[in-house]
Amino acid sequence: MAGSTSTSLFLPLTFRLNFAIVYIFSGFSNWCNVPTFFSESTIEFKEINTKNKQFFLALTPPSESSYGYCRKYDLPPVTTKTAILFSIFGKTITDCMPFTQKTAIVTGAGQGIGFEICKRLSAEGAQVVLNDIDPDLTHRAAALITAETGNECLALAGDASDVDCIQKMVSRIVQQYGKLDIVIANAGITLFGDFLAYTPEAFQRVMQVNLAGSFFLAQAAAQQMKEQKTGGTILFTSSVTGHQAHKQLAAYSMSKAALEMLAKNLVIELSPFQITVNAIAPGATLTERTLDDPGYTATWSALTPMGRPATVADIAEAALFLVSDKARQITGQTLIVDGGWTSISPSPF
């Protein structure tokens, strides 16, 4: 196909126009999905006119990877020093990226689901503050995202359940970028334990991180969004265990169910300010932590109707939808992403 791009300028105009429409606009509903094979070419389409509409595609060799301009994440990142400049009615591809000019805070994002969400937000144009309690992990994750996407990702380490840390995150993003558009309260901990022997210390820690941290991050974000008068969106990370009982997770499940009720309740108070609040409830998901269990993939592949556990990409795609402008009329809802497990709920024990 790369050979086709290099010779297409010598083909009839009709074919060239169709080529432009197929390969530029075939993914337009996916926000300017530009095939990576374009990276090998330096050709240029100039003002292909049809019915007074102009389309322009130029490929140039600047210094940054074009990973951040590609929407199709199941393809490998483009590593050649090529960026794609794309204009539709005078707009660049950056204008077509759904999170351009958006700012976001994501907590618990040093690895796993939170990291993937940050990476995809950054790749689609957002200015992201990445938080994790582990300073080294936080800075490594932010640096990796910056390198892969060509879009600066800010690192801010700290305990996302601490009100002072929460205020620092909000203040930092507003100071750096002037506003706050998206908050994803992803930080959480899972402390397994038998109900009859569960300690007050373990209980309080789960509630502090999973509930208090999310509650007060949403509060601080909503205050800022209200002051901006431009609306915003808040997303909580819940779990399928907030819907179905799971052995040794009484406290954790309780905290996740509470987050979903919080999302519902905040509809009443935050909708007048055009702030949406939703939750996402992942099921079994392949992360660094779960992959430490050698039997995890096989167990959950057998238990999940779709035949496999989720990937972090599956969860991130759903999360990005809920914080995008496509979901502006969705609020107070929980989206379960579990391959159908909660529909039948077979036990892993």
Say whether both 164 and 49 belong to one domain: no
pLDDT score, position 1: 39
Say whether both 75 and 165 belong to one domain: no
pLDDT score, position 35: 36
The Cα 331–Cα 274 span in angstroms is 10
> Is 122 noted as a catalytic residue in this protein?
no
* Catalytic choice (39, 122, 239, 255): 239
* Catalytic choice (214, 252, 253, 324): 252
Considering the domain boundaries, does residue 299 fall inside one?
yes
Tell me which residue range forms the domain holding 64: 2-96
pLDDT score, position 98: 86
Q: Residues in the chain, how many?
A: 349
Please say which residue of 96, 119, 154 terminates a domain. 96
Pairing of strands 83-88, 53-60: antiparallel
Say whether both 36 and 172 belong to one domain: no
Say whether both 25 and 115 belong to one domain: no
- Mean pLDDT taken over the chain: 79
Say whether both 226 and 156 belong to one domain: yes
Say whether both 81 and 125 belong to one domain: no
Considering the domain boundaries, does residue 218 fall inside one?
yes
CA–chain centroid gap for 154, Å, is 15
Please say which residue of 39, 72, 96 terminates a domain. 96
pLDDT score, position 348: 85
Both tokens assigned to 8:
């297409």
pLDDT score, position 193: 95
pLDDT score, position 27: 33
pLDDT score, position 73: 33
What CATH number does the domain containing 246 carry?
3.40.50.720
For the chain, which residues score pLDDT lower than 50? 1-95
Say whether both 207 and 297 belong to one domain: yes
Say whether both 219 and 275 belong to one domain: yes
* Catalytic choice (69, 256, 296, 324): 256
Say whether both 132 and 215 belong to one domain: yes
18-43 pLDDT tens trace: 333 333 333 333 333 333 333 333 33
Number of domains in the chain: 2
pLDDT score, position 96: 58
> Is 252 noted as a catalytic residue in this protein?
yes
Say whether both 86 and 137 belong to one domain: no
Q: Give CA angle at 317 (179, 131), nearest 5°.
A: 45
Considering the domain boundaries, does residue 349 fall inside one?
no
Contact present, 281 and 337 (Cβ < 8 Å): yes
Say whether both 134 and 35 belong to one domain: no
135-157 pLDDT tens trace: 999 999 999 999 999 999 999 99
